[in-house]
């Protein structure tokens, strides 16, 4: 059966590519009636996995043409639109998907993310309120709503949502749980509870030792508490996991500067500036350049010996 299923899949996949590209396929007899909207959705998902987003959009478009009332096709195209920053299309598709199936969890999640990404926070929260009313055990809804509440600086309510997300998190993987702990730790920092933040960051690292964000935030907390050795250890770990983590270079540079290791500080500031520039983060890039210039001018004016 495995080989039969594989061959059937291959032929169906080839037919769908033929339909998308209008390229004849030798040796394949095409029966258009047997190609369904769901087939095109499966193809679109496969193309996403191959990072061929234009083919994925085409596949979802064909699915909708075949069945204009197929909620899954709109939901899938919405998700792809969110990932490619086409938010107007995402909002239309999610609305359509929900109108066709008002109990679909993924459509609500995507719709909330779309409103969040266009900074319509009130509407995004309203979407997640609806989802939680329908599915009170959906941890992702609480987590996403908490992230939006963080944007509105309602940190205490965000913590409550993070707590709820963790309490109904039976289906989440350790890496997903680590993200919740990391973000709750950040919320604790904003509410002046550094010991709880440290506990959450450490728990996130236990759940996912490859999580640079948890190490970075724990390092920042250690730095603010004057625990320079542990802060340095965490910043070094971040950069070993992700050499392109610009903020970690910046924070480690500031730590070096406090320790009068000015050459190392300048090296890290320059690394941070380069990475901010590659990320097209102009604000952070210019701020880091100003930091470099200020340190250089201070060293020159004070005739300071630069230690490596």
pLDDT digits (tens, 9 = 90+) for 33-85: 577 889 999 999 999 899 999 999 999 999 999 999 999 999 999 999 988 99
Which pLDDT does position 164 carry in this prediction? 97
Other C-beta atoms closer than 10 Å to the C-beta of 278 total 11
Contact 174, 206 (CB under 8 A): no
Q: For the ranges 37-46, 216-225, 249-258, 282-291, which has the lowest average pLDDT?
A: 37-46
Q: Is the pLDDT confidence value at 305 over 50?
A: yes
Which pLDDT does position 5 carry in this prediction? 31
Q: Is the pLDDT confidence value at 19 over 60?
A: no
Question: What is the tally of helices (H) and strands (E) in the chain?
Answer: 16, 0
Q: Is the pLDDT confidence value at 27 over 60?
A: no
Which pLDDT does position 33 carry in this prediction? 54
Which pLDDT does position 246 carry in this prediction? 97
Which pLDDT does position 35 carry in this prediction? 79
Residues present in the chain in total: 308
Q: Show the CA angle centred on residue 173, arms to residues 240 and 94, nearest 5°.
A: 105
Interval 226-252 mean pLDDT: 97
Interval 258-269 mean pLDDT: 96
d(Cα 115, Cα 121) in Å, to the nearest integer? 7
Residue 169: band (very low, low, confident or very high) from pLDDT cuts 50, 70, 90: confident
Interval 237-257 mean pLDDT: 97
Which pLDDT does position 307 carry in this prediction? 55
- List the structure tokens of 285: 């890039």
Quick one: which of 183, 201, 191, 176 has its CA closest to 147? 183
Q: Is the pLDDT confidence value at 235 over 90?
A: yes
Which pLDDT does position 25 carry in this prediction? 38
User: Could you read off the pLDDT of 81-135 as tens digits, one per residue?
Assistant: 988 999 999 999 999 999 999 888 999 999 999 999 999 999 999 999 999 999 9
Contact 275, 246 (CB under 8 A): yes
- List the structure tokens of 131: 């989802």
Q: Is the pLDDT confidence value at 32 over 60?
A: no
Which pLDDT does position 171 carry in this prediction? 82
Quick one: which of 113, 148, 112 has its CA closest to 131? 112
Q: In a 3-state reduction of DSSP, which class is residue 257?
A: helix
Unique residue bearing structure tokens 């998700």: 79
- List the structure tokens of 133: 């009313």
Quick one: which of 198, 162, 197 has its CA closest to 180? 162
d(Cα 73, Cα 86) in Å, to the nearest integer? 16
Interval 230-241 mean pLDDT: 98
d(Cα 252, Cα 212) in Å, to the nearest integer? 14
Q: For the ranges 38-52, 201-215, 237-251, 259-273, which has the lowest average pLDDT?
A: 38-52
- Mean pLDDT (the chain, rounded): 88
Buried b or exposed e, range 131-158, using 16+ CB within 10 angstroms: bbeeeeebbbbbbbbbbbbbeeebbeeb
């Amino acid at each position: 059966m495995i080989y039969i299923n594989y061959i059937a899949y291959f032929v169906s996949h080839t037919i769908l590519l033929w339909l998308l590209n209008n390229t004849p396929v030798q040796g394949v007899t095409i029966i258009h009636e047997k190609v369904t909207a769901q087939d095109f959705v499966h193809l679109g998902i496969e193309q996403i996995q191959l990072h061929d987003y234009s083919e994925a959009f085409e596949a979802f478009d064909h699915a909708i043409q075949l069945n204009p009332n197929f909620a899954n096709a709109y939901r899938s195209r919405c998700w792809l639109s969110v990932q490619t920053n086409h938010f107007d299309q995402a909002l239309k598709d999610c609305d359509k998907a929900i109108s066709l199936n008002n109990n679909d969890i993924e459509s609500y999640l995507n719709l909330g993310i779309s409103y969040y990404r266009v900074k319509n926070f009130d509407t995004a929260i309203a979407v997640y309120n609806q989802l939680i009313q329908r599915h009170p055990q959906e941890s992702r809804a609480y987590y996403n709503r908490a992230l939006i509440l963080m944007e509105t600086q309602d940190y205490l309510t965000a913590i409550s949502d993070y707590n709820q997300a963790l309490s109904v998190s039976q289906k989440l993987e350790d890496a997903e749980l680590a993200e919740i702990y990391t973000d709750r730790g950040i919320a604790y920092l904003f509410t002046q509870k550094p010991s709880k933040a440290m506990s959450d960051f450490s728990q996130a690292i236990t759940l996912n030792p490859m999580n640079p964000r948890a190490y970075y935030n724990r390092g920042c907390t250690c730095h603010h508490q004057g625990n320079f050795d542990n802060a340095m250890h965490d910043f070094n770990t971040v950069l070993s996991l992700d050499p392109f983590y610009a903020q970690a270079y910046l924070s480690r540079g500031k730590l070096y500067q406090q320790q009068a290791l000015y050459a190392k500080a300048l090296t890290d500031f320059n690394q941070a500036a380069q990475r901010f520039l590659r990320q097209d983060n102009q604000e952070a890039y210019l701020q880091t350049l100003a930091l470099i210039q200020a340190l250089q001018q201070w060293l020159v004016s004070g005739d300071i010996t630069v230690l490596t």
